[in-house]
Amino acid sequence: MPTVTRHGVRPLGSADLDAFLALAGQDPVVNVFALYRARTTSLEPRWLGGEVWGRFDNGELVAACHVGANLVPIQASADDARAFAERALTRSRSVSTIVGPHEAVESFWNHVAESWGKPRELRWQQPHLVIDEPPHVEADHRVRRTTRQDMAALYPACVAMYTEEVGVSPEAGGGADLYRARVTQLTSRGWSFARFDEGRVVFKAEVACATEDAAQVQGVWVPADRRGEGLAVAGMAAVVDFVQHEIAPTVSLYVNEWNAPARRVYEAVGFRESARFSTVMF
């Protein structure tokens, strides 16, 4: 077993899976990403593509941190986040994003900021929204699951959404094959939804991760020339219907605080705020 550091932190492995699931299960909606990753990898580093660190107190797992392309604190207080930051400072930065509950992300970032360099963007106080009841508006019945046959129209829409949201194309630096594989994977799982008008995507969204308790939605997008028509409201209602009936009873997402149009969409559908997230992007 790896040595526990003076901060009570060590990498977790498959032997820690039950303890980790119990910890993350204290908030199965906020922690849906962590639970999904743990269940699909059994915390094996070769499947994680990184590590999950645990912090222990008297032998009990009290907090964790997913460290892959995304660094995600799990049930971590500000003090736990500082302990994870101390461990992170013993190695060079490998993560492209720090994301999770605001207090933990802020504490972690304040501790590593000097060493990890200037981020591309800081997004503080992102509302984390949930809906666990039927949508409050009528669904757009033209929204459907996508198929591989839709890729010619769907993939460019996904690239456009990502570029608009993140500020850089997912194809930059030779990433096209990897991103196309991710879009194809979500479609194959039945986690990609869209409405097509004359072969063009006019609304889309995906499920990023899911457990039996919750599913997290990402990539909600309407092309600029079709905004203001109500496509997003009715489209999101359709996605919520699909997810609640076929994937998980609670649907979650997080949104930029400054994105007033998106926040109005989610409010109209029936989402309510349950927490605040923050994201640091490199």
pLDDT at 5: 59
Position 2 confidence tier, pLDDT thresholds 50, 70, 90: low
Give the tokens for residue 170: 């997912």
Is 60 exposed, middle or buried (CB count within 10 Å of its CB: 0-12, 13-18, 19+)?
exposed
The model's confidence at residue 7, banded by pLDDT at 50, 70 and 90, is confident
Give the model's pLDDT for residue 6: 59
**Residue type for 5, please?**
T
CB 201 within 8 A of CB 105: no
Looking at residue 3, what is its pLDDT? 55
Q: Torsion angle of alpha carbons 58, 59, 62, 64, nearest 10°? A: 140
Q: What is the mean predicted confidence (pLDDT) over 119-135? A: 97
> Using one digit for the tens of pLDDT, what is the confidence trace for 60-103?
999 999 999 999 999 999 999 999 999 999 999 999 999 999 99
Give the residues across from 100 on adjacent strands: 278
The model carries a pTM of 0.93
**Domain-by-domain residue ranges, the chain?**
9-117, 144-276
Residue pLDDT, tens place only, 140-164: 999 999 999 999 999 999 999 999 9
Of the candidates 186, 158, 154, 189, the one whose C-alpha atom is nearest the C-alpha of residue 171 is 158
CATH number of 9-117: 3.40.630
Residue 204: in which H helix or E strand, if any? strand 200-210
Contacts of residue 34, Cβ cutoff 8 Å, sequence gap at least 6: 20, 24, 52, 64, 66, 72, 74
**In terms of pLDDT, which residue wins out, 207 or 166?**
207
pLDDT mean over 38-53: 94
Percentage, residues of the chain above pLDDT 70: 98
Fold category of 144-276 in CATH: Aminopeptidase (3.40.630)
Cβ 240 vs Cβ 247: under 8 Å = no
Per the prediction, the chain carries an average pLDDT of 96
